[in-house]
Structure 1
Amino acid sequence: MSFGLPSIIPKSTVPEQFDIKDGTSYDVANPMVSGLSATRQSIGYAHPLEASEKNYVKNQDRMNMILLRNTQGLHAPLRIAMELKATEKIGRLPFLSSSNMMRDVLLGRDQDIGFEDIFNTPEFREQMGQPHAVVENHLGIL
């Protein structure tokens, strides 16, 4: 009984069969001539799970919203979506980075420790602009 609701099982974005043409080059660029990045872009995904892992958080959020709608009704995901939209509109100066703490609390990620919490902290970044120049550039004065 689906009641016309979408499935919560994520669908694969990678085709199940790859079209490999006959020939010696298989339409793959030579990495010695064009570099490794050009070869990687022409091949596409290296593994079928790579696309799923890239969209893991998005699929998880979508599944949570569908489950929330099925259990509590339409108002619950709409309310959370409205609150998430409000967290994006919090005004900060352009040179100050946001920790997105409110968004993490709303999504239940405030107690998780991931790679981005350890290796992507603002105090270890090498980029730092002058605050006045960044604000003037953001406002279109500079």
Structure 2
Amino acid sequence: MIKITFDDTPDTLEPVENNGAAGAGGVELSASAAQRITEILARKTEDEKYLRVRVDGGGCNGYSYKFMFEKTPADDYVRVEKDGTTVLIDPVSYNYLMGSVIDYVETLEASQFVINNPNATSSCGCGNSFSI
């Protein structure tokens, strides 16, 4: 399980080719994630209208996921929609996320967004980063 952190640092990754591990599928947003994002955005300002997912270089295993809020999406962002909720993904990050499911999970220990990424070959013990 990968933990999600919120961040607003600039993009730092170079585009990569999709290795085909996820097939031709795009990125899916679960109903529970869509509902939770809608709840969060209802409390945000006009400057925070969209939730964006990004893959950053770093962490103990090579890459990490970041969630942040944005007012206006760039023209080249990929839009993932579910139940009236839109998540934005930049094209570089989308290459790393092909075939993934963004979910929101509630357990006794935690309530958090998780990304089930078939491209990730491993994740670190702390749950904050992954490798491809």
TM-score, normalised relative to structure 2: 0.21
TM-score w.r.t. structure 1 length? 0.20
Answer with 1 or 2: which has the greater Rg.
Answer: 1
Which has more strand, going by share of residues? Answer: 2
More helix by share: 1
